[in-house]
Structure 1
Amino acid sequence: MKTFIQLVAAGVVTLHAAGALAAITAEEAKQLGTTLTVFGAEKAASSDGSIPEYKGGLTKGPADFVPNSGTWPDPFKNEKPIRSINAANMAQYADQLTPGVQALLKRFPEFRLDVYPTHRTMHYPQWVLDNTLKNATSANLVGKVEGDGVDGAFGGIPFPIPKSGYEVMWNAQLGYRRTQYEAKNVGAYLVDSSGGRTELPIMNVIEYKPYYDQALAGGKFKGPQDRMWLTLLTPATQAGSANLVDYSINYSETDQVSWAYFPAQRRVRMAPDYKYDTPTAAYGGALFWDEAKLFAGRMDKFNFKLIGKKEMYVPYNNYAYSQLPVDDVYGPKHIKPEALRWEKHRVWVVEATLKPDARHAYSKRVFFVDEDSWTLMEADGYGHDGKLWRVGLDYPINYYDGLGGVFISANTFYDLQKGNYFSYFTANSRGKPELRVAEKLEKPNLFTPAGMAGTGLR
Structure 2
Amino acid sequence: MMKKEFGFVAGVMVIALHSATALAAVSEEEAKALGTSLTEFGAEKQASADGTIPAYNGGLTTAPADFDPKSGLIPDPFKDEKPLYTITGKNMAQYADRLSPGVQALLKRFPTYHVDVFPTHRTMHYPQWVLDNTVKNATTAKLVGKVKGDGVEGAFGGIPFPIPKDGYEVMFNSALNFQRTQYENQAKAWLVDSAGNRSELPENDANDYRPYYDRALAQGKAPHNAYDVYHVVQVSPPTGVGTAVLVYTPINNATDEQVTWLYMPGQRRTRMAPDYKYDTPISQFGGVMFWDDLGLYHGRMDRFDFKVIGKKEMIVPYSSYKYLSMSPDQLFGKQHLNPDAIRWETHRVWVVEATLKQGERHAYSKRTLYIDEDTWAIVEADAYDPEGKLWKVGFMYTFNYYDGGGGTFNAIYNIYDLQKGDYFGTNAGGPANGRPFIRPFDTHQKESLFTPAGMSGTGMH
C-alpha contact 2:282 2:291 (8 A) present in aligned 1? yes
Contact 1:323 1:433 in 2 (8 A): no
Does 2:381 align with 1:385?
Answer: no
Match in the other structure for 2:202:
201
Distance 1:7 1:268, change over 3 A: farther
Verify: 1:182 aligned to 2:181, yes or no: no
The farther-off stretch of 428-437 and 188-197 is 428-437
SS at match of 1:134: helix
Shift of 1:220: 7.1
Work out whether 1:12 is the aligned partner of 2:8.
Answer: yes
1:404 aligns to what? 406
1:349 paired to 2:351: yes
The residue number in structure 2 matching 1:435 is: 438
1:313 match: 315
Which residue identity is paired with 1:386? G
Residues 1:183 and 1:5: Cα distance change in structure 2 (over 3 Å): farther
Mapping 1:46-445, distance limit 5 Å: 46-184=48-186, 186-217=187-218, 223-427=225-429, 430=432, 434-445=437-448
State the AA in 2 paired with 1:177. Answer: Q
The letter of the residue matching 2:46 is A
Structure 1 residue 217: deviation in Å?
3.4
1:5/1:174 Cα in 2 relative to 1: closer, same or farther (>3 Å)? farther
Worse-superposed segment, 169-178 or 420-429: 420-429
8 Å CA contact 1:309, 1:347 repeated in 2: yes
Relative to structure 1, the CA distance from residue 152 to residue 78 in structure 2 (aligned partners, 3 Å threshold; closer, same or farther) is same
Farther off after superposition, 433-442 or 312-321: 433-442
Write the letter of the residue equivalent to 1:453. S
* 1:86 to 1:239, Cα distance in 2 relative to 1, 3 A: same
TM-score by length of 1: 0.97
Q: Is the 8 A contact 2:324 2:430 kept in 1?
A: no
Q: Deviations over 1:137-184 (max 9, x none)?
A: 000000011010000000000000000000000000001001001012
For residue 210 of structure 1, what is the amino acid of its counterpart? P
Gapped runs of 5+ residues in structure 2? Answer: none
CA deviations 1:206-231 (Å, max 9, x no partner) are 00000000001357777000000001
Quote the Cα distance in structure 2 between the aligned partners of 1:207 and 1:122: 20
Deviations along 1:285-316, one digit per CA (max 9) or x if unpaired, are 12111111111110000000011100000000
Give the secondary structure class of the aligned counterpart of 1:138.
coil
Whole-Å separation in 2 of the counterparts to 1:218 and 1:195: 49
Task: Letter of the 1:229 partner, please give it.
Answer: H
Residue type at the aligned position of 1:192: D
Deviation, 1:11, is 3.7
Q: Which residue of 1 aligns with 2:457?
A: 454
Output the amino acid matched with 1:193.
Answer: S
Displacement of 1:429 in angstroms is: 10
Change (3 A) 1:7 1:292: farther
Matched residues in 2 for 1:453 and 1:283: separation? Answer: 23
> Separation in 1 of the partners of 2:22 and 2:245?
36
Q: Which amino acid aligns with 1:38?
A: E
Percent identity between matched residues is 58
- CA–CA separation in structure 2 for the residues paired with 1:208 and 1:429: 21
Residue in structure 1 matched with residue 37 of structure 2 by the alignment: 35
> Which consecutive unaligned segments of at least 5 residues does structure 1 have?
none
Contact map agreement 1:38 1:133 (CA 8 A) in 2: yes
Indicate how the Cα distance of structure 1 residues 429 and 348 shifts in structure 2: closer, same or farther if over 3 A, else same.
closer
- Report the AA paired with residue 446 of structure 1: L
Contact 1:61–1:75 (8 Å) recurs in 2: yes
Q: Report the AA paired with residue 371 of structure 2.
A: V
Q: Distance in 2 between matches of 1:230 and 1:19?
A: 39
CA–CA separation in structure 2 for the residues paired with 1:19 and 1:424: 37
* 2:28 maps to which of 14, 26, 29: 26
Residue 386 and residue 375 in structure 1: after superposition, are their counterparts in 2 closer, same or farther (change >3 A)? same
What's the secondary structure of 2:188's corresponding residue? strand
TM-score normalised to structure 2 length: 0.96
Q: Residues of 1 paired with 2:430 and 2:405: CA distance?
A: 29
**Residues of 2 paired with 1:287 and 1:334: CA distance?**
16
Instruction: Say which SS state the counterpart of residue 426 (structure 1) adopts.
Output: coil
Residue 56 of structure 1 aligns with an amino acid whose one-letter code is G
Return 339-348 or 59-68, whichever deviates more: 59-68
C-alpha distance in 1, partners of 2:430/2:351? Answer: 34
Per-residue deviation, residues 231-271 of structure 1 (Å, max 9, x unmatched): 11111111110000000010000010000000110100100
Distance 1:6 1:201 in 2: 44
Check whether the contact 1:366–1:381 (CA below 8 A) recurs between aligned residues.
yes
